Amino acid sequence: MITVSVYVLILVITFIYFVPELLSITGTAFSAEVDSSLTKRARLWEILSLARLAVLIVLSVTLFMGLSKPKQ
């Protein structure tokens, strides 16, 4: 139950932060000069996204291990 709850929480966070932030970053108009604040936002998004992926992988392994155990 904890695995599913954390997965749902990650989905909520994805729709609240990750999707809007990604759309904002990728929707920024092209500029010949580097925008340092945009670069920082993109770097933070990437780090958090990789952390989110790692948590999802752990949750997936946990769920599959739980489902593969024989019922007692």
Residue in the block written with tokens 């108009």: 29
pLDDT of residue 4: 87
Alpha carbons 45 and 43: distance in angstroms, whole number: 5
Q: Is 25 inside a domain boundary? A: no
Alpha carbons 29 and 18: distance in angstroms, whole number: 19
What are the start-end ranges of the H helices in the chain?
2-13, 19-26, 36-68
Q: Are the CB atoms for 9 and 29 separated by under 8 Å?
A: no
Q: Is 57 inside a domain boundary? A: yes
pLDDT tens readout for residues 24-66: 999 999 889 999 999 999 999 999 999 999 999 999 999 888 8
Q: Is 51 inside a domain boundary? A: yes
Q: Is 59 inside a domain boundary? A: yes
52, two tokens? 């989110």
pLDDT tens readout for residues 6-19: 999 999 999 999 99
